[in-house]
Amino acid sequence: MFDFLQYDFLLRSLIAAVAVGILAPTVGVFLVLRGLSFIGAGIAHAAFAGVTFGFLTGLNPLLMAFIFSVLSTGLIDLTERYGDLKYDAAIGMFFALTMALAIIFIGLMQSYNTEVMGYLFGNILSITRLDILAILLVTVFTLVYVGGVFKELHFIAFDEQLARASGIPVTPIFSGFLLVTSLTIVVSLKSVGVILVFALLVIPAAAAYQLTHRIGVMITWAMIFGVFSTIAGMLLSYYLDLPSGATIVVLNSLVFGIARLFSPKKKKCEPAALDAMEREREKARQEEVPSQTT
Amino acid sequence: MTQPIIEFRNATITYEDRIAVRGITAKIYPGEFIGIIGPNGSGKTTLFRGILGMQSLARGDILVHGRSVRNESKSIRKSVGYLPQRESLDPTVPGLVREVVLMGLYSQIGLFRRPGEKEHEQVRKVLRMVEMEEHIDDPVGHLSGGQQQRVFLARALVSNPDMLLLDEPTSAIDPGTQARLIELISQVQSKLNLTILFITHDVNHLIGRVHRVMYLNQELLGFGPTRDVLKEEILSRVYGQVVRVITLEDGEPCVIVSDSHV
């Protein structure tokens, strides 16, 4: 069954699948909880503009992707803060602008570049040793950072203003988080592609949200779903000759559907469930009304 | 003489590009229970944000424990328990009661450190105080509005602050639950000798409970003991409606707002 591991490129892909499967959902959980899922798409497109700029100018595409994504994140934040716009409008603006820049950079290239298209759609089977090193470094850095400020990120997701009022340094913590989000997206680009990295950030987190009321458990489930979908997607793409990024996202979506199906949060309308809800309501009411008959 | 715990010195606070609170001068002493009333947009929440150093002071100063919010807001925030308006909280974010109460200790615990047994014991103690200990492992989103407010009150109390800022804690809950919550807040105030600033839209909540009432409508229209300043003309001026103060059979005053404009 594991005979494919004799191929070096497949072993590298497997390592990348596990690392990206852990990495993307870890940051995705906090993006989903803060209602900032769409920023993943914004950063991914900015990173793609950086990749194309890198190929056009001969500079390192991944470094350019990182610089473009950090710049874009900063500008989105400034536009939201000083432009009297909501976050989604600011993200939408830069999403379109960076994609337009990417198209212009591609247009300026002398010839068709297959590598650029690799970044657009992703190909986990083309991961190099250097890519693996970058993915593993970012994974370790992200896990250390998110683990270190986990409780603060939870507080910020719960109520940013209250966190600020309680003396939590919200701005530096969240800026650091957006930085690791940018790094995550940049190193995941080659595996799942610009268009689909967004899905890997959001869908495992959204699926995990269906299953629990505990944030620690939510992150664990999101990682399990992420790793499962990337490994299974990689194997399916190898054996069935399917595009890896798209296969991973389809599997993720299936996982979300199954999680939703078994979600304890799902509103059920069966008579037994209604009775249980009524009992809970009655219990809560009795707890709030102290006995006045004694 | 007792030093004031909060001192407003001709404080003018801006909100976005306008003046929200103008020229407030007042002193609040340790252990006082202060009610704050005023119509929507009168600057009540901005006043709280000014005390926490979260809103710019255009003129004057606010001193908390003798320290200016202009340059010591970070340490001031850690010594104040704050319960914001409910709409700012998102109960759909996963969180158990114990986790939400623990959030009140995060700034003391510090970054890259986990809460220990001492912090968990503090959480249990404060949940016992607000009669919510049996819900310690429940998701906050599963609780009723009144229960959630008790949890958020516990969160504000868990760091042992000597001052609480409560911004409309009784909004969006039914009258019976409101009465029990206010009774609980009164008990906690006298038990811990806390200084409490309590914003409400219902003046009747304050009668017989608070030491002084602050009437605010972008400026300080009145500040004094409840009975001394519970005057129809002041309340009518605050709300822009005709307000009647009647005396009930038990001798307590009751405020009624009519639908006629002043």
Judge whether B139 lies within some domain. yes
Judge whether B1 lies within some domain. no
pLDDT at A37 exceeding the cut of 50: yes
Asked if B13 and B138 sit in the same domain, the reply is yes
| Mean pLDDT for the stretch of residues A204-223 | 94
Q: What is the reported pLDDT for A281?
A: 66
Asked if B179 and B84 sit in the same domain, the reply is yes
Average pLDDT, chain A: 87
Q: How confident is the model at residue A273 (pLDDT cuts 50, 70, 90)?
A: low
Q: Which domain holds residue B237?
A: 232-262
Contact A215 B102 (CB under 8 A): no
Q: Is A155 on the interface with B (CB under 8 A)?
A: yes
How many angstroms separate the CA atoms of B242 and B249, rounded?
A: 23
Asked if B13 and B91 sit in the same domain, the reply is yes
Asked if B90 and B147 sit in the same domain, the reply is yes
Q: What is the reported pLDDT for A292?
A: 43
Q: What is the reported pLDDT for A122?
A: 79
Asked if B154 and B187 sit in the same domain, the reply is yes
Judge whether A272 lies within some domain. yes
Chosen for mutation from B103, B132, B135, B160 (greatest number of chain A CBs closer than 10 Å) is: B103
Q: Is A167 on the interface with B (CB under 8 A)?
A: yes
Judge whether A292 lies within some domain. no
| Count: domains in chain B | 2
Supply the CATH number for residue A190's domain: 1.10.3470.10
Across A72-76, A246-250, B55-59, B239-243, least confident range: B239-243
Higher pLDDT, A74 or A85: A74
Q: Which domain holds residue A178?
A: 3-283
Residue of B nearest to A145 (CA): B112
Cα dist. A40→A55, A105, A266, B186 in Å?
23, 22, 27, 47
Asked if B96 and B68 sit in the same domain, the reply is yes
- Scored b (16 or more CB within 10 A) or e, B209-235 reads bbbbbbbbbbebbbbeebeebbeeebb
Q: In this structure, are residues B108 and B131 in contact, taking their beta carbons and an 8 Å threshold?
A: no
Q: What is the reported pLDDT for A224?
A: 96
Name the stretches of chain B with pLDDT < 50: none
User: A105-140, pLDDT tens digit by residue?
Assistant: 999 998 877 888 888 887 777 888 888 999 999 999
| Residues β-bridged to residue B220 | B216
Burial of A292 from C-beta contacts in 10 A (0-12 / 13-18 / 19+): exposed
pLDDT at A276 exceeding the cut of 80: no
Q: What is the reported pLDDT for A291?
A: 45
Supply the CATH number for residue B28's domain: 3.40.50.300
Contact A158 B95 (CB under 8 A): yes
Find all residues with CB under 8 Å of B112, minimum gap 6, and list them: A148, A149
How does DSSP classify residue B139? B
Q: How confident is the model at residue A294 (pLDDT cuts 50, 70, 90)?
A: very low
Across A252-261, A273-282, B48-57, B96-105, least confident range: A273-282
How many angstroms separate the CA atoms of B207 and B187, rounded?
A: 15
Q: Is A159 on the interface with B (CB under 8 A)?
A: yes
Judge whether A288 lies within some domain. no
Judge whether A85 lies within some domain. yes
Asked if B201 and B251 sit in the same domain, the reply is no
Judge whether B69 lies within some domain. yes
Going A126 to A127 to A128 to A131, the CA torsion angle's sign is: positive
Q: Which two tokens stand for residue A251?
A: 């599997």
Q: In this structure, are residues B184 and B207 in contact, taking their beta carbons and an 8 Å threshold?
A: no
Asked if B215 and B253 sit in the same domain, the reply is no
Asked if B92 and B104 sit in the same domain, the reply is yes
How many angstroms separate the CA atoms of B105 and B93, rounded?
A: 19
User: B164-211, pLDDT tens digit by residue?
Assistant: 999 998 887 888 888 888 889 999 998 999 999 999 888 887 888 889
Judge whether B167 lies within some domain. yes
Residues 67-106 of chain A whose Cβ lies under 8 A from any Cβ of chain B: none
Asked if B236 and B226 sit in the same domain, the reply is no
Contact B180 A155 (CB under 8 A): no
Contacts of B90 in chain A (CB under 8 A): 157-159
Q: ipTM, 2 decimals?
A: 0.85
Asked if B156 and B256 sit in the same domain, the reply is no
Judge whether B144 lies within some domain. yes
Judge whether A293 lies within some domain. no
Contact B88 A161 (CB under 8 A): yes
Residue of A nearest to B55 (CA): A165
Q: Tell how strand B212-216 and strand B33-37 pair up.
A: parallel
Residue of B nearest to A82 (CA): B16
Closest CA–CA distance from residue A166 to any residue of chain B (Å): 5
Residues 174-213 of chain B whose Cβ lies under 8 A from any Cβ of chain A: 176-177, 180
Q: What is the reported pLDDT for B103?
A: 95
User: A138-189, pLDDT tens digit by residue?
Assistant: 999 999 999 999 999 999 998 888 899 888 999 999 999 999 999 999 999 8
Q: In this structure, are residues A138 and A187 in contact, taking their beta carbons and an 8 Å threshold?
A: yes
Q: What is the reported pLDDT for B85?
A: 83
| Count: domains in chain A | 1
pTM score of the predicted model: 0.85
Across A17-31, A104-118, A257-271, least confident range: A257-271
Asked if B218 and B162 sit in the same domain, the reply is yes
